[in-house]
Amino acid sequence: MTSDKRLVSERFPRSSQYHPEWVMASASGGANSLWVTEWLTTALDLRPGMRVLDLGCGRAASSIFLRREFGVQVWATDLWVSVSENIQRIRDAGVDDGVFPIHADARSLPFAAAFFDAIVCIDSFYYYGTDDLYLNYLARFVKPGGQVGIAGAGLVREIEGPLPEHLREWWTQDLWSLHSATWLRRHWERTGIMDIELADTMPDGWQLWLDWHRVVAPDNEAEIKALEADRGNYLGYVRLVGRRQGQTELADHIVSLPAQYTKKPLLRSE
């Protein structure tokens, strides 16, 4: 038992059991993936043996956590992190019987329709999922009645007008994909694909975001200063959970068109 109290939190008793060195070595984003996963799972109906897609899993810490804590089978899917690295981490955690690393793009997934009982996206959805058509694509991989849950960095409220001065040093163009829980709810709700069960913001999420960075990336001065100046005015952690509607028909996902070229006159004069 380590006496190291870093990353111990009464709010996250499951996560606090994991060694801080392991958690930090497994980091691949701006959030403590175990804290965010534990927060999300309080709104999910996970049961042993269920098939779960952990999309954008990074170094698979969230996948290992899901397997150990809930007994689910997890397809740990990521584009940027090597599956060879992840399988070593999975084996060392003793969960290679139920966590399967997959290298895939979130927009080109190699799974059968309705294969999963649930889908989770931990601090990754904003990289690939906020366009108008993505939910229609993703929903086909979860069974009707299955849950899709996302959680991670986001906005407490939408930025209207110019970017606030205190965020400008840190802000990059890719951060425009960050949105609020209210925006995400509307984004999914209007499609009719999901029954929205929950859309909220973590209380004092900005403080946990800041605490995490002070431990894992103390040299990241731009982000730390932005969080300190913002104090939860815009920045925080958001969560959204929906359940796939059984009766809503999904649009076909077109990957190619059959060749059917027939030569025709180019000009009217021909």
- Amino acid identity, position 115: F
Has residue 64 been placed in a domain? yes
256 is a domain residue:
no
Q: CA-to-CA distance for 91 and 160, rounded, in angstroms?
A: 46
Tens digits of residue pLDDT in 131-189: 999 999 999 999 999 999 999 999 999 999 999 999 999 999 999 999 999 999 999 99
* 25-53 per-position pLDDT tens digit: 999 877 999 999 999 999 999 999 999 99
Model confidence at 243: pLDDT above 90 = yes
Domain extent at residue 24: 15-244
Query: Which residues, 6+ apart, have CB-to-CB distance to 162 below 8 Å?
Result: none
Within 8 A by CB and 6+ apart from 80, the residues are 28, 58
- In-domain check, residue 3: no
Beta strands 194-201; 116-122: pairing state: unpaired
- Return the H-helix or E-strand segment holding 227: helix 221-230
Q: Which residues of 213-232 are buried (b: 16+ CB within 10 A; e: fewer)?
A: beebeeeeeebbebbeebeb
Task: Give the domain CATH number at 231.
Answer: 3.40.50.150
CA dist 176 and 156 (Å) reads: 14
pLDDT, tens only, 60-104? 999 999 999 999 999 999 999 999 999 999 999 999 999 999 999
- Structure confidence at residue 2 (pLDDT): 62
Backbone phi, then psi, for 155, in 5-degree steps?
-115, 145
In a domain, 258, yes or no: no
What is the reported pTM?
Answer: 0.94
Q: Is residue 199 assigned to a domain?
A: yes
Q: Is residue 254 part of a domain?
A: no
pLDDT tens profile 56-70: 999 999 999 999 999
Residue 5 within a domain: no
Cβ 61 vs Cβ 122: under 8 Å: no
The number of folded domains in the chain is 1
Given this model, what pLDDT does residue 1 score? 56
List the structure tokens of 164: 């606030």
To the nearest 10°, report the CA torsion of 174, 33, 19, 17: 160
pLDDT at 258: 84
269: Cα separation from own chain's centroid: 57
Whether 10 maps to a domain, the answer reads no
In degrees, to the nearest 5, what angle opens at C-alpha 112 toward C-alphas 110 and 113? 125
Q: What pLDDT does residue 247 have?
A: 86
First to last CA, the chain: 85
* pLDDT recorded at residue 146: 98
* Cβ atoms of 64 and 93 closer than 8 Å: yes
pLDDT of residue 255: 74
